Structures are given as structure tokens and as C-alpha cells.
Structure 1
Amino acid sequence: MIDVYSWPTPNGHKVHIILEECGLAYRAIPVDIGAGDQFKESFLAISPNNKIPAIVDADGPDGKPISLFESGAILLYLAGKTGKLLGKTDREKYNTLQWLMFQMGGLGPMLGQAHHFRIYAPAKIDYAVDRYTNEAKRLYGVLDKQLAETEYLAGDTYTIADIASFPWTRSAANQGIDWADYPNAKRWFDAINARPAVQRGVEVLANLRKPLVDDKAKEVLFGKTQYSKK
């Protein structure tokens, strides 16, 4: 059994989806990031960066429990554990890894900033809105160009690169994106969105999430609480 400490965010969805795709037994343990659960000592013990998701696998590589944080590392671990969604040959694996790193280093952080400054920032800063909206458009362009050549990001096989990127594109409108400008990426999005395991994955803990309109929750996520010493 794998315990998943998570919340229904793009990074949380990644892990929920791969668990569903691989048919692994798991238990979802909510970490309400608006309430500050991510700062509890019990969670920091397995996720020292105070970010979701994190997992504890009772059946680790050596038969002993293992805990992991960082969604990309968790995707790689679960793909390795099951022998799925990473590629068969070394060439396929490295191709998958480069697109996984594209999401981890660029797509996720930049779309997150676009979303923040467009939707959640307490004051509208035109420079920030323009900066991150334009970067979001550039990144969707990278996706669209790649997906004009291949069915999925790393080729013609669905991999963890797709699982990592898809959840971040579910909020395209909030990032200033018009899907009509990216037809190849939209075709890819629709195909992944139709997968039963993906549909199950994005529903994990979804009933617990509330609209982020509470000032206290915003302060926990974006204010001084986030930067106080833990």
C-alpha cells in the first residue's frame, strides 16, 4: 500500500493519475495547503520543502518503506517500480526524461506564475501579468510544435512526461491561453482528458478543495507563513 499525502492541485494530480494508470493500491491522505497542513512536523518529516505531494511506499526497493517528495521524483519512482510509462529502450527513456524535465523546470513553474499573477495576486502588476502570460504562450507553442510531430510529448507512446504536463494545462484559460491557437496541443489534451485513469485521478480529493477566496488561506499559501522558518 502506498500512502499519498496530497491535495487536488496540478502536482497532486500527477501522482494520483500515475497511481490510477498503473493500478497500484494507494490511500490518499489530504494535506490541506490552505489550512497550513503542509507545515505540520509529521508532514515535514517526509516533505522537508513543505510541498505536496509526498508518498510513503510500504514496499520500497529493498522491501523496506521509502518516502519520497517532489512530484517528478515520485513519477520516476512509480514508473520504475511498475516498469510502465517511461519507455523501453535507453533512447525512449532519455526522450521521456527530457520532456519530464521540461515540465518540472519550465512548464509548471511558469504556468503557476501566470496563474498567480492573473488570478490570485492582491494587486494587479501589469509587468508580471504580461511577463508570465507571454511565457505561458511561448511554452504552449513549444508543446504545440512538438505535438505536430508526435502523438504524445515523448513520441507516439503515452508516458510520465504527458502525465506531468497535462494537469498544468487544465487551467489554460486562467493562464491567458486560447486553445484555438494551439490545435495540436488541444488534440493531445483532449486525448489525455478522455482516459479513464486520468478522469479518476483528477477526482481524488477534489471534493475537499474550496475556492481560494479566504484571506487566511491566501496568506498561508502566498504570505509570510510560507517564508517563516520551519
Structure 2
Amino acid sequence: MSTIAVTGAASGIGAAVCKHLEAAGHTLIRVDLRNADVNADLSSSEGRQAAIEQTLSACNNQLDAVVACAGVGVTAPSIGLIVGVNYFGVTEYLNGLEDALSASGKGTAVIIGSVAGSHMVATPHPMAEAMLDNDETKARQMAEEFGDPAAAYAASKYAVTVFGRRKSVEWGKRGMRLNIIAPGAVETPLHQASKEDARFGEAVKNFVAPMGRAGIPDEIAHGVDFLLSDKSAFVNGSVLFIDGGMDAMVRANKF
């Protein structure tokens, strides 16, 4: 069995992923702000480095897979936090574990992105460009000045998807794989908070997939199971939409 690090492991999609992987017999390194094997704040560079160091220590510098589930939504305490966690919390952590993943011989990673990263960013937002330029100070400042949590969320998910696809090319040459899952609305505490938010609640409730419901965390975890398995051995750099048809509803002619 494999040793797998999962960020955002304490709740929502991350908790469902851990349940599936543990049931399959894998050894897990759970990473979250609290109540985890590695308690670390992925919103700051110091917290990310602590998470990397503790993860490397726990896996003895050899890791089979990473599932990057940690993320915050439009109800985050600050807009800059959305950028810090959703983009830099993923990219810095993955970059820091790259050699440990390579040491396993066929390291694999899955990033939990969002359908919002495709249909809400018609053209690359300057915030996303700053993220992809690895300029966290500028990206956070732009997010705060722009003042729209929904735009920051979409830009962060767009940017982390682009990061994953670019990185997958480099990884593929090393025998490693990196893919992205783009969920639609999923019944998690994060989604519930968005539905109850005075600013965004109505829009969130009214944005319903063609299948007429939100997803459940286990449905996203099934996708992770597939992307970490040998059944997906030739899948690399892909974006897997698990969204009840939401992406197709919004942009059927773009894929």
C-alpha cells in the first residue's frame, strides 16, 4: 500500500478522501489547521514550510501521493486568505514534496480545483497572473484591492489548475503524474457557509447543476481513488469535472 499526504483532511472533501484511502489500506498523513497528523497553517509561507518539513519527516522523505484538498471559499475572513490558501498553499506544498514523490518511483498528485476556475474566469484575471508569477504579495494585494471574494476564489482555482497542467508536463518526464479534479457545488461545511452568506447565498442556492442537486464528498473521493490508482496510469495533466454537468451547462463549446 501507499503513503499518501492529504491536505484539508479534517472536513469536507478531504475527510471523505481520507475515509476512502484508509479503507483501501493506505497509510495517511493528514494535514490541516488542527485535528490532524500535521497541524499547519497553509495560508502563510512559514506554515507551508512547517507542513512540508513535518510531512517529509513522517514519510521518511519518500511519498507515494499527495491529494491537495485544502481550500477556503468566499466566506473566508479576508480575500487575501483565499489567494494564500487556494493557490500558494497548494503550489508551495507540492513543490516542497516533489523530490519525495519522485523517490517513490511513480509519485502522483491530485489537486482539488473547482468548476469556478473554468467558467468564471473568461480571460486570465490579473490576480491569476500574479499567482502564476509566484508573486504572493502582489496577488494578495490585488485581491484585497479588487474587493470581490468570488473573483478571488475563481482566479485562485483557475491559477492552481494552470499550475497543475504546466507542472504535469515536467512531472510526466520523471515518471510522475499530476491531475486536477474540478468539483461543482458539493455539500460540505464550506458550501453550507456560502449558502448562508448574506452576500452570496441566493446566487449559490440558485446555481444548480443539470442533474438538479449538489454533489456529495464521497463522489469527489471516488474520482481521487481513480486518479491515484493504476487504472489511470496514462492520465496526466487532465482536469476531471465532477460537477453534475455544470461546466457543460455554462460552456458547452469550450473544453
TM-score normalised over the length of structure 2: 0.30
Which protein, 1 or 2, shows the higher relative CO under an 8 Å CA cutoff with sep ≥ 6? 1
Q: Which has the larger radius of gyration?
A: 1
More helix by share: 1
More strand by share: 2
